[in-house]
Structure 1
Amino acid sequence: MPSIDTLAERLSTYLGPEQVNLVRRAYFYAEQAHDGQRRRSGEPYVTHPLAVAGILADMHMDHQSLMAAMLHDVIEDTGIAKEALSQQFGETVAELVDGVSKLTQMNFETKAEAQAENFQKMAMAMARDIRVILVKLADRLHNMRTLEVLSGEKRRRIAKETLEIYAPIANRLGMHTVRVEFEDLGFKAMHPMRSSRIHQAVKRARGNRKEIVAKIEQSLANCLSSDGIEGEVSGRQKHLYGIYKKMRGKRRAFNEIMDVYAFRIIVDKVDTCYRVLGAVHNLYKPLPGRFKDYIAIPKANGYQSLHTTLFGMHGVPIEIQIRTREMEEMANNGIAAHWLYKSNDDDQPKGSHARARQWVKGILELQQRAGNSLEFIESVKIDLFPDEVYVFTPKGRIMELPKGSTAVDFAYAVHTDVGNSCIACRINRRLAPLSEPLQSGSTVEIVSAPGARPNPAWLNFVVTGKARTHIRHALKQQRRSESISLGERLLNKVLTGFDSSLEKISQERIQPILAEYRLEVIEDLLEDIGLGNRMAYVVARRLLSAEGEQLPSAEGPLAIRGTEGLVLSYAKCCTPIPGDPIVGHLSAGKGMVVHLEDCRNISEIRHNPEKCLQLSWAKDVTGEFNVELRVELEHQRGLIALLASSVNAADGNIEKISMDERDGRISVVQLVVSVHDRVHLARVIKKLRTLTGVVRITRMRA
């Protein structure tokens, strides 16, 4: 069992004596705090913080991170307050410990909600000090190494959370070694049988391949020495979870994956990497389209390397990674490779540390915009994509985005306002759909318009958390402003009948009503009315302090302009259009749904003033409205084309068309046509009647 003395000995290789003593002090404090507590395995609890500090020591982390590792469970498990830690070890260490601690004092309805809230708390602490996540990753890594003592269900839950959140975070921070261990341990806990089978198969395959691996390694080493290049050639082993993912995702057999031989060549300088690339391309033929230069364009997590695939001896594919020692260190330990944390804020973080800071800043922005913690964690999971595409702005700036990103994701990555006002895009100078997935190397230009708004349909194809969160936020704001506007019109309509209006009612009258409804401002009340959650009729009675007194109905119906947006919709059962006699049904949460006066679906509530409202069409009503027509006509060649050209000639537009033959001679066609009003519909029907063979045209209603 490791002891504090062996850890102190390791730390003294890179930390000063005073800093090592501070880590020792933190250990003894934790030992005392956890006195009497034991782990599920029966060991004293303090062995866990000691092991976590050992993991951070392998990464050469600073003394404050190691102290936080020693104390990371003290607030959560021993009842010692953050203030006490602050007095003993300083504000910085106390903040790190608090950032890693779970929210134990709150009750959550579900495990998912607790997980989301705890992650949200940690994300905010990460924004203050990124070392919080490194302590948390080390804590989770030791817990994963000692999972066996837990019940099967708990093991699977922790493994699932690790694979979904912590492994992608380690990857995002460039910590390859930690990620691989997370994935293999998580895979073993989630699917023990599959893990064991693949492990056995890999052992067998490696035994059979020893000879050919040695031959390829030797030929690569000879190739470098003949060109006078100093480099270290080593075989690269694929990890179990990586093999499993390829087998599942790419639907490949185990033998196909193991037939590819992987090697790594480590050299001293960047220009040597390109010399090695030329040498190996001379030795074996490269596979077209399989070369990637991550040195010139690093991955989002700071990873740098040259990747190439070659046809080796006997046509065997060989994957080669070429990188410097510094890049190798960076690839394995990522942000922890060169700890650049500065106590002086003037020193700006560089390289991977700056990228990590940028990523955390993005996470914080998601957290501020998300509606709740579950929505936030969903956005973070989406954002932890391992594969990137690299695209260019029109000015040549490189943007990295997750695989499958669209122009809308790109627009939000450039700036939130660009995303919100985006209306079209050009990919490589040609107009393209906003939903088209971007390819690496494309140049993307966004066409925006002032006053444009995000489209709810974008949520079906965007992949970045930032785009999703900002679209949802903008739609909520849009829905709120439209609900307030409609709510004000509905309330004023009722108040007009009582010879009053919202402007005439004093703040003293409004305030008690808001308190009664547990609302803060009048806008919240108007929003509730607009969404149909409260009836304007009831609210008006309360405002005028005339409970029990029947208010006379307002002068005339409420006019509909067609520009009310998200809080006003048109019933699909009867498809009303301007000119039709209409009523409004107030539906809780949806706002107002417009129906025809004689629609069967609202016949029972038609005369209830709290649920239905008399409506009329405004003179300046705008927009296009769908109406369904049934056309019976004699069967003839080119029938659909004839109907389409007739509707088009009357300035109409066919949204949907379906056809079924009633008998061998008569065909019945269902058309959904978009028109401006009843007059426009009459023109469309008149045009259709001129077609030869038309027997009957009927407008369909519920």
Structure 2
Amino acid sequence: MPSPLSRFIPHLVGEFPKQFMDLFERVNIPDENEKEEIKRLLWEAYDFGLNSHEGQKRKSGEPYFNHCVETAKLLASWKMDHSTIMGGLLHDSVEDTGVNLADIRERFGEDVTNLVDGVTKLGGIKFTSREEKQAGNFMKMLLSVAKDLRVIIIKFADRIHNMQTIEHLPRIKQHRIAVETRDVYVPLAHRLGMASVKFLLEDLVFKTLKPKEYKSLESKIKSSRKEREKYIKEVSNPLQRELNKLGIDAIIYGRVKSYSSIYGKMVARDKSFDEIYDHLAIRIIVEKVDDCYLALGIMHNQFTPVQERFKDFIASPKSNAYQSIHTTVIGPKGKMLEIQIRTQEMEETAEIGIAAHWRYKEKGTLSKG
């Protein structure tokens, strides 16, 4: 167990390690008055975790605690509260070190302890049948064990980083973890409305299970980048001008759809990458719901809409709370182009789902330090 005293107390002298500061600078802190206290709490969790995992290495040879920090960074990028980020830093402490829950409770309080305990228990869940792997059944198992949705969010961050570094494991273990990710975590992310997590995990699974196909597609997408950026400007520039005339603040950007999605279309349609028209999408982010419909009108005035490809998920949200307007238009050069229009709040909900509901002030008081 780590010493109750840090090796040094950098918050008194202002000398924090670069790795810690890289994490802290990503943390969302709405109330500046609490910044120093949150910094102290995060430092104590960082230092405790660092000491707990001292001497432990991953298969790559890097310090094991790096994984905990990367997990915490993902949680910070989702704007999770500081207790959840502390849980990310400490999530493997009980399972992989001599630390016990009493140690964590004494240092960090009940909230962080419950998160660490929940993640530890989730790590012990084993699947014995295909039925147990189904997202609905897994959700029930998770909720019965976790009791706090933040535990599941930590588990997603943990799984993402493990998938990102999976190449250091034996191929047979890579395959097992990738299949479990595909069968359990991907559909679960979808059910929880965490689109960015779902697509990222799908691509990591694709990269692991079909590495040759992934590299081939990645090469094609990279080689077409300049042409793609030029095409996006042809669409976005006139739209941006029209929105500006109406005084509507908007962020417009183009994105390539997930590699796994594009590959799935290539296989299903028996077509090459160059023959897949809908691998690109434009997203328009505005401030108000009314602006979504104004942007839609401008888009349909500039480009011919494909009537059967219009869906209004603002008027009729999906069961996972997803809201957005989807439309497809005939863009420049006669190419069909998918457009998504939503507010910033809808964007956050669409990308990180339940994590968007866990904002700093909603969690109340600071954890025990």
Matched residue of 2:196: which SS? helix
CA shift for structure 1 position 336? 2.0
Equivalent of 1:269 in 269, 285, 288: 288
Which AA in structure 2 matches 1:125? Answer: V
Q: Equivalent residue for 1:191?
A: 210
| Residue number in structure 1 paired with 2:27 | 11
Question: Could you say what secondary structure the match of 1:90 adopts?
Answer: helix
1:253 to partner: Cα distance: 3.9
Give the counterpart of 1:123 among 120, 143, 151: 143
The 5 A counterparts of 1:120-199 are 122-126=142-146, 128-199=147-218
Cα deviation, residue 307, structure 1: 0.9
> Is contact 1:276-1:322 (8 Å) kept?
yes
Separation in 1 of the partners of 2:326 and 2:52? 50
2:283, 2:341 within 8 Å by CA — same for their partners in 1?
yes
* One of 318, 321, 335 as aligned partner of 1:299: 318
Structure 1 partner of 2:257: 238
Return closer, same or farther for 1:193/1:61 CA change in 2, 3 Å cut-off: same
Can you give the 5+ residue segments of structure 2 that lack an aligned partner in the other structure? 1-16, 365-369
Amino acid at match of 2:350: A
Aligned CA-pair RMSD: 3.0
- For residues 281 and 48 of structure 2, the distance between their equivalents in structure 1, rounded to whole angstroms, comes to 47
Q: What's 1:89 paired with?
A: 108
Query: 1:72 pairs with 75, 85, 91, which one?
Result: 91
Aligned residue for 1:236, secondary structure, equals strand
Counterpart in the other structure of 1:323 = 342
Contact 1:68–1:96 under 8 Å retained in 2: yes
Go from structure 1 to structure 2 and tell me whether the alpha carbon gap of 1:146 and 1:330 turns closer, same or farther (over 3 Å shift): same
Residue identity matched to 1:124: S
Q: Distance in 1 between matches of 2:278 and 2:86?
A: 46
Change in CA separation of 1:316 and 1:44 when aligned onto 2, cut-off 3 Å: closer
| Contact 2:84-2:154 at 8 Å conserved across structures | yes
User: In 1, are the aligned partners of 2:257 and 2:279 still within 8 Å (CA)?
Assistant: no
- In 1, the alpha carbon distance for the partners of 2:92 and 2:193 equals 26
Distance (whole Å) between structure 1 residues aligned to residue 247 and residue 127 of structure 2: 66
Shift of 1:235: 1.7
Provide closer, same or farther for how the CA distance between residues 197 and 73 of structure 1 changes in structure 2, counting only shifts above 3 A: same
- CA displacement, residues 11-67 of structure 1 (integer Å, 9 cap, x when unaligned): 375453223212211222222222221111112222111121111111221121112
Per-residue CA distance 1:407-443 (angstroms, 9 max, x = gap): xxxxxxxxxxxxxxxxxxxxxxxxxxxxxxxxxxxxx
Amino acid at match of 1:256: E
Within 5 A, what are the aligned runs for 1:528-677? Answer: none
Deviations 1:213-254 (CA, angstroms, capped at 9, x unpaired): 332223333443455544332222212111012223454442
| Alpha-carbon separation, structure 1, partners of 2:301 and 2:57 | 61
CA distance in 2, matches of 1:132, 1:89: 16
* Cα offsets for 1:170-220 (capped at 9, x unmatched): 232222222222111111011100101111122233344444333222333
Q: How many residues align?
A: 342
Q: Please give the alpha-carbon distance, in whole angstroms, between the structure 1 residues aligned to 2:220 and 2:124.
A: 47
Code of the residue aligned with 1:315 in structure 2: it is G
Pick the structure with more strand per residue: 1
State how far apart, in whole Å, the 1-side matches of 2:122 and 2:307 are: 53
d(CA) in 1 for partners of 2:358, 2:269: 37
Q: C-alpha separation between the residues in 2 aligned to 1:85 and 1:328? A: 35
- Name which structure has the greater RCO, CA cutoff 8 Å, separation 6+: 2
Please state how far the C-alpha of 1:305 moved relative to its aligned partner: 1.1
Task: Report the Cα distance in structure 1 between the residues aligned to 2:260 and 2:124, rounded to whole angstroms.
Answer: 36
TM-score by length of 2: 0.82
In structure 2, how many angstroms separate the alpha carbons of the residues matched to 1:284 and 1:145?
Answer: 39
- Written as runs of structure 1 = structure 2, the 5 A alignment for 1:519-530 is none
Alpha-carbon distance change, 43 to 113 in structure 1, aligned in 2, over 3 angstroms: farther
Q: Is the 8 A contact 1:205 1:258 kept in 2?
A: no
Alignment of 1:682-697 (within 5 A): none
CA distance in 1, matches of 2:95, 2:133: 15
Contact 1:213 1:261 in 2 (8 A): no
C-alpha separation between the residues in 1 aligned to 2:358 and 2:180? 27
Question: Relative to 1, partners in 2 of residues 1:343 and 1:274: Cα closer, same or farther, differing over 3 Å?
Answer: closer
Q: For residues 50 and 89 of structure 2, what CA distance do their matches in structure 1 show?
A: 9
Q: Kindly indicate whether residue 351 of structure 2 is the aligned counterpart of residue 311 of structure 1.
A: no
Counterparts in 2 of 1:103 and 1:13: CA distance versus 1, 3 Å: closer
- Indicate whether 1:20 and 2:36 are aligned: no
From 92, 114, 119, give the equivalent of 1:100: 119
| 1:51 aligned partner, one-letter code | E
1:154 deviates by 0.9
Choose the corresponding residue for 1:49, options 59, 68, 74: 68
Instruction: Identify which range, 229-238 or 128-137, moves more after superposition.
Output: 229-238
Q: How does 1:501-512 map to 2 (within 5 A)?
A: none
Paired residue type of 1:53: A
Shift of 1:133: 0.5
Larger radius of gyration: 1
Query: Quick one: which amino acid aligns to residue 332 of structure 1?
Result: E
Moved more, 287-296 or 171-180: 171-180
Measured in 1, the distance between the counterparts of 2:202 and 2:142 equals: 22
> 2:285 touches 2:342 (CA, 8 Å); kept in 1?
yes
